[in-house]
Amino acid sequence: MQNFYHVGVDLEYDDLGSETINGKRFYVTPDGKQYPSVTTVTGLHSKKAIMEWRKRVGEETANKISTQASARGTKVHALCEKYLNNEIYYKQGANLTDLDMFYKIKPTLDEKVSNIHALEIPLYSHHLRVAGRVDCIAEYDNKISVIDFKTSTREKKEQYIQNYFMQCSAYAVMYEELTKIPITNLVIIIAVQEGNSQVFTKKRDDYIKEFISYRKLFDELYLEKV
């Protein structure tokens, strides 16, 4: 089993409070400000496509698929976190399907990831007025990066996952604002059930302006409601 070195990061808080308002997830910062979650904001990017898909397959089928996908993603995320935390019994309690998906991305973790700064920590930004939990901040190919773990039934086309890149660009800005450590590299690692694993590497500055535009759109659509 690989042994990952942890650099560690000191934040002035242990966690962020959270609440759901009109179906939207918000975090509460240490000084009491309420900010929408990163995924709530980036969800605006794919909202139209999701609504069309739900209409096409029907609400019952859509709910079933979404629930299964969410559970699968949570389990694979947990395997990644335990493995990167050097937990010996990281496989305990996992089913064969989840393990199979994890094993598809394990070689990438072993070969590319080192010097872990953070795993599943809450972040926020007063500049972006947003908050969320980042999967991993570590060196990827010797470059400090925001690393996000995703799961999918089939391989993803890059043009359909722009919200993933925006999400990670926001985490990069949040982390720099709180720690003064700049991050420009973004890495998306996807465990694919019916295919090979996928890795996408991008640059923060190519996506942060688009994220900011969706953050402004969120205010226009929902500010009065929340």
Whole-number pLDDT of residue 125: 97
Flag whether pLDDT at 1 surpasses 90.
Answer: no
Closest CA to 186 of 141, 155, 156: 141
> Alpha-carbon dihedral of residues 209, 132, 146, 216, nearest 10 degrees?
0
- Here the tokens at position 3 are 């042994």
Tens of pLDDT, residue by residue over 21-66, are 888 899 999 999 999 999 999 988 765 444 543 455 466 654 554 5
Domain definitions of the chain by residue range: 17-222
For residue 2, what pLDDT band results from cuts at 50, 70 and 90?
A: confident
Res 103: pLDDT: 94
Instruction: Report d(CA 205, CA 203) in Å as an integer.
Output: 6
Q: Can you state the angle between helices 162-179 and 208-222, rounded to 10 degrees?
A: 100
Question: Rounded CA gap, 39 and 77, in Å?
Answer: 16
Least confident of 45-59, 72-86, 209-223: 45-59
Secondary structure, 3-state, the chain:
CCCCCECCCCCCCCCCEEEEECCEEEEECCCCCEEEEHHHHHHHHHHHHHHHHHHHHCHHHHHHHHHHHHHHHHHHHHHHHHHHCCCCCCCCCCCHHHHHHHHHHHHHHHHHEEEEEEEEEEEEECCCCEEEEEEEEEEECCEEEEEEEEEECCCCCHHHCHHHHHHHHHHHHHHHHHHCCCCCEEEEEEEECCCCCEEEEEEHHHCHHHHHHHHHHHHHHHCCCC
Tell me the pLDDT tens digit for each residue of 183-207.
Answer: 999 999 999 998 889 999 999 999 9
pLDDT at 50: 44
pLDDT recorded at residue 71: 64
Architecture of domain 17-222: Alpha-Beta Complex (3.90)
Tens-digit pLDDT profile for residues 121-177: 999 999 999 999 999 999 999 999 999 999 998 999 998 899 999 999 999 999 999
Per-residue pLDDT, 12: 82
Which whole-number Å values give the CA distances from 197 to 77, 145, 159, 194, 206, in the listed order? 14, 19, 17, 9, 24
pLDDT one-digit tens code per residue, 82-122: 999 999 999 988 899 899 999 999 999 999 999 999 999 99
What's the pLDDT at 65?
47
Q: What is the pLDDT of residue 52?
A: 47
What is the sign of the dihedral through the CA atoms of 171, 163, 60 and 77?
negative
